[in-house]
Structures are given as structure tokens and as C-alpha cells.
Amino acid sequence: MSRLARLDAARATSPIPPGSPWWAAEAAELAERAGLAVRARAEARRALPEMLGQLDRINTAVLSEQAINAVHRVAAINAATEPAAADRLREALGAAADERSGYPGSQLAAPPPVPIFDVAAEVENLEKDRLQLGHLHWVLDPRWVPEGLFRAGLSPHSDLTVCWDDTCGLVAVGALLAPGADCGALTRYQARLVDASSRHILAHAGFTVTRVTAELQLTCAGDTLREVWVEVGPDAPWPVRGAKVHRIRRALRWADAALRAERAPAALAPASAREDWAAFAAAAWERCCHDWSAAGYADHAYLAARRQAAIDPRTCVPPVPSVAAAEIARQVPVDGPAYMAEVLGS
């Protein structure tokens, strides 16, 4: 159940679309093992049509034993309610295996193209923007946008592209649409600038469909504001949250990015070395620690710093703030392999 919960969190912020059948297939397996029969059946039904579509196409990509087992489990779970489709899935798996002599069951459909990231460039941008954007912050909160509309980046920093021209007070907010996203839905969402300290909306604007950007005109001097946040949400009033809530949401997103970097999923950045992923994980844990500290959560900041120190020995870990934090730090960190969707890239 713990791994299923972590998969749900990773699925919500992954650059791989949440509609990938491999998210659903892995969730079905985990739910079945946890005794959550209803969840297992729902996820298996969700995986079935997309998985059939992939297996019916070209047969060039190599699947791991874990992925092959997941295909069999999806077929088995669906056998009672959709026997014909389950049989077709087994037949497609067998046909894919037969076409690749000598490797039974290991050669299946090539996944569709996915975003390719440069992890070293992400780390470089984090360092550069640390100096350039002192009081401008942003976070793409999945609670305020529908699943499958925007494509997530490697971190909360690259979820959105934010450029501030301080001379004219113009802030340009860019986003990337997820594969297959409904462009019509984009008109129902907007970006806005808020002063988190006073909880006032400073500017708001809708996205243009052609470039997926929103231009926000700031009418007051930027240097007079303590902490300005860019938000993306529905084209209707929603509450302006304070700086603490923003920091908490972004700290969670940084932790998610750091955990993903520790797993170094192959499909997201196949050209990036293991050292690049490690540097990114350390940078993400550092940002996570900073946000938790700014939000007043000393225990969480300490644990993030401990996780960073395990990657980068130069990390300065603060004194342990409580008995509870010390107890959690003594436990073995929860790790696991990269999720199938992020390994296969579909």
C-alpha cells in the first residue's frame, strides 16, 4: 500500500502522461497485492485498451520481465469481466514474442515518443536562476489543473517557464501541453500573480493556445513586494493562498523530483549520466529543505538535508530538531526501482 501511494504521487507529477497503460498496470498489480480488489480491477480496465494498442503496433522495444508480468496480470484481472479482450492481450503478447526469434516474450511494441530532458542543464538552470529571481516564485499545483492538460517538467522549476522583465513589469508564464491534451480546455485556465504575504491578486491572464503562454502585467514596482508567486488554475475565482501553503506544496514537489532523480528513470533522459541524476537529486533535496525551513517545518527540513547529505557529503546538516525527526532519520530510507511508465517512456 505504501508503494501504491508513492506511485500515485509520482504519477500525478511525472512527465510521462498519467494515461500511460504502464502506470495503470503497475497500480493494478500493487492494488491486488494489497487486497484492494476494486482498485485493481479499475486500474486493469484502464490499462487494457491502451496496452492492446501498444502491443498491436511494431515490435522493437525490449520489455523487462516486470513489464511482461504486468501484461499477464492485466489480462488475468480482466479475464472475468472482459474475457475476449484479455485473450486478445495474451495473443498480442505471444505474437510479439514469436516475431523476435530467440527472445520469447521479451520483444514488444515500441513506445511513442516522449519528452527528452537534459538533467545537467536542469541543474545548471537551477543554479543560474537562484541568483536571478530572488522574490519571484512559482509552483504548478496539480490540485488546480486537470489531469493530462499540462506536461510536468523534471522539477517544479521547469514545470513552468517564467520570465520577468522588471523594466516594464511584464511576467511571461509558459507551459507545455501534455501529449493528446485538449487545447479547448486551455481556455478555461489562467495564470496569475499573487502577493502571498497580503494574499492579493496582482495580475491574471489566460493562456494563448498557439504558444501556451500567459502575459501578466504588474502595475506596481516588483521590488516593493516581499514574495510574489505565479499560480495556474481555473478561469474562475479561487482562494489566494499564503506563502506557507505555497512553500509546503513546492517542498512536496521538490521531494517528488528528488526521489525521481534518485531512481534515474531511463526514458526521461537517456543521454544523462548517473552523475547528472545524482547532482540533480542533491539540488532538489536542497531546495526541498529550504522550502520546508521557510514554511516553519524544522523536522521536514532536517530530513531533507539528511537525504541530500547521503548524496553530497559536503551538505551542512542542521542539528536534529526533535526526537521524532531523529527516530525517522534512523530508519532505512524507502527506496524502489523506477516506475515502469518512466522506464518505458509511454
Helices of type H across 56-203: 65-78, 83-98, 119-132, 156-159, 183-186
> pLDDT (tens digit, 9 = 90+) per residue, 237-273?
888 989 999 999 999 999 999 999 999 998 899 889 9
Are 249 and 236 in a shared domain?
Answer: no
Are 233 and 260 in a shared domain?
Answer: no
Any domain includes 131: no
Domain count, the chain: 3
Any domain includes 125: no
Range of the domain at 78: 17-109
Are 99 and 143 in a shared domain?
Answer: no
Q: What is the pTM of this model?
A: 0.86
Any domain includes 126: no
Any domain includes 163: yes
> pLDDT (tens digit, 9 = 90+) per residue, 42-92?
999 999 988 888 776 534 345 678 888 888 999 999 998 999 989 988 887
Any domain includes 160: yes
Q: Cα(93)–Cα(109) distance, rounded to whole angstroms? A: 9
Q: Cα(86)–Cα(74) distance, rounded to whole angstroms? A: 8
SS3 200: strand
CATH code of 158's domain = 2.60.40
Average the pLDDT over each of 130-134, 213-217, 297-301 and give the range with the smallest value.
Answer: 130-134
